[in-house]
Amino acid sequence: MDRKLFDHTILKADATRADVERVCREAAQYGFMSVCVNSFYTAFVAERLKGSGVKVCTVIGFPLGQMSTRAKAAETRIAVEDGADEIDMVINVGALKDRDYETILTDIRQVKEACGGALLKVIIETCLLAEEEKVKACELAVEAGADFVKTSTGFSTGGAVCEDVALMRRTVGESVGVKASGGIRDTQTAERMVEAGASRLGTSATIAICCQ
């Protein structure tokens, strides 16, 4: 598989500097698209990846998305200042279920503004949504200026499934990316996600999927 499809991910709560440094070495060695980390490690990863061609991806409002918009925007600005090239933000799922669409739009727009030139992916947490909510979340993300929609944090009740990826691709069209993330641990699953419409894959099992 094309190694540039992959965001090589380390988001677990007990990740140490040694763990994150190992992931950076792997990403540089194999030429993955990015290393995806919590914001605490953004500057550390940016330094380790300097000159490698691998991007720095930072998650925002992770994993619940229920932080204030101001907090998400501030976290985004700091991440970009620390060297993030890409931002993966979690929407406020409760607000979506309340049909408080203005809150969702404001949330994404303010994070997008804080991104500056960084690419923005919006995590909609598909496992918590009904089909019509998935469609609406994608529509709102596109309206607010997101570059990608993303299935999952990997820390909720489920991860990416092909049917959701296909639905998201149909909803956003070809001009917006679709990232599948959560539960992708083997080559066959990764290939099915791409066939369903994913243009990026987030996983901590990247080496096993495409490099062995």
CA dist 201 and 57 (Å) reads: 13
- Is residue 179 annotated as part of the catalytic site, yes or no? yes
User: Strand 177-181 and strand 200-203: pairing?
Assistant: parallel
Q: Is the backbone peptide bond immediately before 63 cis, with ω within 30 degrees of 0?
A: yes
CA dist 182 and 59 (Å) reads: 14
- Is residue 7 annotated as part of the catalytic site, yes or no? no
Angle of helix 187-196 relative to helix 162-172, nearest 10 degrees? 30
Task: With H, G, I as helix, E, B as strand and everything else as coil, classify residue 17.
Answer: helix
Q: Report which DSSP code applies to 212.
A: -
Catalytic residue among 55, 112, 136, 150: 150
Catalytic residue among 7, 82, 85, 88: 88
For 207, residues 6+ apart whose C-beta sits below 8 A from its C-beta are 26, 30
- Is residue 4 annotated as part of the catalytic site, yes or no? no
Active-site residue numbers?
88, 150, 179
